[in-house]
């Protein structure tokens, strides 16, 4: 072949390869996902943004962090994100007001939080007349505290609830003596002073409580159903990897949270999650637990009546994702 022809042919091949690469890159659609602010479980939550888990399924993840569930839910309904992870109670509250939010899977199915108290509080009954730090109405800390009080025969109106924001703020309010008890994540257990103790573990008191579910909207799922399936498959792959690679997951948590090398929280949270089977990579949709959650909301006056569970969940996307991720 003439040298000039060979050069032209080589150039044509190079252009074709570049075009294919650009085409493949273009096929990676952006999926905007919301998470709560990174804490000592960040390695588990954020593993999906590493190791090309999303790229494998033709997606590019764009992660946004929010201070609490309500802000993330508002962003979802406004169309600013495509999905978010948080407590399912916000979805019930929003749909009761006419929103089209849909739960498409739940992964942190056992609550790692608990009620921590100062040394003067020996039992849940001792909380009567005391202040307990929770978060905004309808959030997990708020509902956990109310349900735990009821389970132990303590009138809810005999306790003062203080909405104190995130786990860190609630923990600081407790150790600073602003409140006598607080609902906080177990990440603070290994660093808590001796004057603070775990009064009641959420998983023991409230076995039906769901910590984290993934929500999208019916309109988004209708428009981008295939991408929703790919996102769920990405989440499944990443969670499975995170739970089976302790050192890497703990290291990722410390990197994200800028924790010091000797900070025990990341390892403690990981080991606790694995030991108590808190995270399920198959993203189940347990109707009984979801129904229990909204039942608690009805009791607390946050819902006037329960919604039909099937109107709030969209299981078909998870079912397809299970096949895509090789779980069935």
pLDDT tens per residue across span 34-63? 998 888 999 999 999 998 999 999 999 999
Rounded Cα gap, residues 35 and 80, in angstroms: 13
**CATH number for the segment(s) 29-110+209-324:** 3.40.190.10
Rounded Cα gap, residues 58 and 234, in angstroms: 10
- What pLDDT does residue 328 have? 61
- What pLDDT does residue 296 have? 87
Token representation of residue 79: 């169309």
- What pLDDT does residue 83 have? 97
Domain boundaries, the chain: 29-110+209-324, 119-205
DSSP bridge partners of 90: none
Rounded Cα gap, residues 60 and 100, in angstroms: 25
pLDDT of 9 over the 50 cut: no
Mention every residue, 6+ apart, whose C-beta is less than 8 A from residue 176.
none
pLDDT tens per residue across span 143-174? 889 888 988 999 999 999 999 888 899 999 99
Cβ-count burial 37-54 (b if 16+ within 10 Å, e if not): ebbbbbbbbbbbbeeebb
pLDDT of 23 over the 50 cut: no
Token representation of residue 36: 């709560």
- What pLDDT does residue 98 have? 95
| Domain 119-205: which CATH number of 3.40.50.10420, 3.30.420.40, 3.20.20.70, 3.40.190.10 | 3.40.190.10
Mention every residue, 6+ apart, whose C-beta is less than 8 A from residue 201.
114, 186
Rounded Cα gap, residues 34 and 51, in angstroms: 19
- The arithmetic mean of pLDDT across residues 289-315, rounded, is 93
pLDDT of 266 over the 90 cut: yes
- Asked if the domains 29-110+209-324 and 119-205 are classified in one and the same CATH topology, the answer is yes
pLDDT of 122 over the 60 cut: yes
DSSP state of 107: E
Mention every residue, 6+ apart, whose C-beta is less than 8 A from residue 126.
117, 120
**8 A C-beta contact, residue 265 and residue 187:** yes
More confident: 291 or 140: 291
- The arithmetic mean of pLDDT across residues 130-138, rounded, is 88
pLDDT of 269 over the 80 cut: yes
Question: What distance, in Å, lies between the first and last C-alpha atoms of the chain?
Answer: 53
Of the pLDDT bands very low, low, confident and very high (cuts 50, 70, 90), residue 8 is very low
Q: Is 62 helix (H, G, I), strand (E, B) or coil?
A: strand
Query: For every residue of 112-151, which 3-state class applies, written as one string?
Result: CCEEEEECCCCCHHHHCCCEEEECCCCCHHHHHHHHHHHH
- What pLDDT does residue 19 have? 40
Edge-to-edge strands, sheet with 29-36: 59-66, 29-36, 83-86, 212-217, 101-108
pLDDT of 79 over the 90 cut: yes
Tell me the residue length of the chain: 328
Q: Angle 39-42-44 (CA atoms, 0-180°, nearest 5)?
A: 145
Token representation of residue 222: 């209708």
- The arithmetic mean of pLDDT across residues 186-202, rounded, is 94
Token representation of residue 240: 């499975």
Mention every residue, 6+ apart, whose C-beta is less than 8 A from residue 296.
143, 146, 147
Q: Angle 119-151-136 (CA atoms, 0-180°, nearest 5)?
A: 75
Edge-to-edge strands, sheet with 160-163: 160-163, 131-134, 181-184, 114-118, 196-201
**8 A C-beta contact, residue 234 and residue 317:** no
- Of 92, 95, 94, 72, nearest in space to 83 by CA: 72
Token representation of residue 253: 């948590």
- The arithmetic mean of pLDDT across residues 201-210, rounded, is 88
- Mean pLDDT rounded to a whole number for the chain: 89
Of the pLDDT bands very low, low, confident and very high (cuts 50, 70, 90), residue 27 is low
């Amino acid at each position: 072949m003439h040298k000039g022809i060979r050069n032209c042919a080589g150039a044509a091949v190079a252009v074709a390869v570049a075009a294919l690469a650009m085409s493949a890159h273009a096929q990676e659609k952006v999926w905007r996902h919301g998470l709560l602010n990174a804490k000592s479980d960040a390695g588990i939550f954020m593993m999906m943004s590493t190791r090309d888990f999303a790229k494998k399924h033709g997606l590019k993840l764009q992660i946004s962090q929010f201070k609490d569930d309500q802000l993330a839910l508002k962003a979802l309904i406004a169309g600013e994100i495509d999905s978010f992870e948080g407590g399912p109670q916000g979805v019930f509250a929003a749909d009761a007001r006419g929103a089209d939010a849909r739960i498409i899977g739940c992964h942190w199915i056992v609550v790692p939080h608990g009620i921590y108290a100062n040394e003067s509080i020996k039992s849940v009954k001792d909380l009567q007349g005391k202040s307990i730090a929770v978060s905004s109405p309808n959030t997990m800390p708020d509902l956990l505290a109310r349900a735990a009080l009821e389970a132990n025969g303590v009138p809810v109106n005999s306790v003062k609830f203080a909405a104190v924001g995130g786990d860190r703020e609630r923990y600081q309010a407790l150790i600073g003596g602003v409140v006598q008890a607080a609902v906080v994540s177990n990440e603070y257990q290994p660093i808590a002073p001796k004057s603070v103790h775990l009064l009641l573990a959420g998983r023991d008191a409230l076995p039906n409580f769901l910590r984290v579910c993934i929500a999208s909207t019916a309109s988004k799922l209708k428009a981008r159903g295939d991408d929703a399936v790919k996102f769920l498959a990405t989440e499944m792959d990443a969670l499975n990897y995170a739970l089976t690679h302790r050192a890497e997951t703990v290291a990722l948590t410390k990197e994200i949270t800028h924790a010091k090398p000797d900070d025990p929280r990341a390892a403690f949270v990981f080991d606790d999650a694995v030991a108590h089977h808190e995270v399920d990579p198959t993203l189940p949709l347990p109707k009984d637990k979801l129904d229990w959650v909204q039942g608690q909301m009805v009791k607390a006056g946050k819902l006037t009546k329960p919604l039909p569970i099937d109107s709030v969940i969209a299981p078909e996307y998870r079912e397809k994702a299970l096949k895509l991720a090789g779980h069935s």
